[in-house]
Amino acid sequence: MKKYTLILLFILTANISVCLAQQTVVIDGLTIPSTRIIDGKLVPNWLIPEIVIFPTRTFKTNKDYRQYQRIIRNIKIVYPYARIAKIKLVEMNEQLQLLTAKRDKEEFINQAEKEIREQFEGQLTQLTVSQGKLLIKLIDRETGKTSYELVRELKGKFSAGFWQAVARIFGSNLKAEFDSEGEDKMLNELIVLYEHNQL
């Protein structure tokens, strides 16, 4: 029995030594020292993920609870598209700043629109009306601009007006804004939980 205990102790000590010998650890793209020297002693250094806590929600009826669950499901479906929209917008703006001629900018925007349609149109047309409305709000949250403003900046007033009219036919509004402190407070809390992998 002592023999096995000694072997186990040796293995654990060897593993700790290997861990302490590592200079850095890469977590989510961040390089973090795996050890620190405090008061002349080498101590382990671990990154503890942030945990977000909001008050527990209570529901008056089962219908309210089902609606809440539906919102969570819709966030999981739609939020990744809003994040992609933010990334694509940043990439497009960086590229547009390099172009000086109006024609070059228009060609670039048309090409980018074509690529986005080819990549996402099939998936986006499968969204429900409520998911589409949610996406419009989340794009405003992520980019700081309403969908209407984005279309107007990239494609002009006529296109923005046309797509706004189409959206209105289906009960949506491209000018919808995300109000994190007002009507969208609960939605914002759910998104924060989703961003922290707690949803």
pLDDT tens digit string along 56-74? 889 999 999 999 999 999 9
pTM of the full structure: 0.71
DSSP three-state, residue 192: helix
* Crossing angle between the packed helical segments 62-98 and 185-195, to the nearest 10 degrees: 70
Asked whether residue 70 is domain-assigned, the answer is: yes
Average pLDDT over residues 154-164: 84
* Whether residues 181 and 126 fall in one domain: yes
* Whether residues 23 and 106 fall in one domain: no
- pLDDT at 157 exceeding the cut of 60: yes
* Whether residues 182 and 108 fall in one domain: yes
Tell which residue, 167, 146, 145, 149, has the closest CA to residue 157. Answer: 149
* Whether residues 35 and 119 fall in one domain: no
Q: What percent of the chain has pLDDT above 70? A: 82
* Whether residues 70 and 145 fall in one domain: yes
Asked whether residue 6 is domain-assigned, the answer is: yes
Asked whether residue 49 is domain-assigned, the answer is: no
- pLDDT at 150 exceeding the cut of 90: no
- pLDDT at 168 exceeding the cut of 50: yes
Tell which residue, 129, 154, 125, 149, has the closest CA to residue 139. Answer: 149
pLDDT tens for each residue of 69-105: 999 999 999 999 999 989 988 888 888 888 888 898 8
Q: Which two tokens stand for residue 65?
A: 């609870």
Average pLDDT over residues 48-63: 88
Asked whether residue 159 is domain-assigned, the answer is: yes
Please count the other Cβ atoms lying within 10 Å of the Cβ belonging to residue 127.
16
- pLDDT at 18 exceeding the cut of 60: no
* Whether residues 73 and 139 fall in one domain: yes
Domain carrying residue 155: 62-195
- What integer best gives the mean pLDDT of the chain? 82
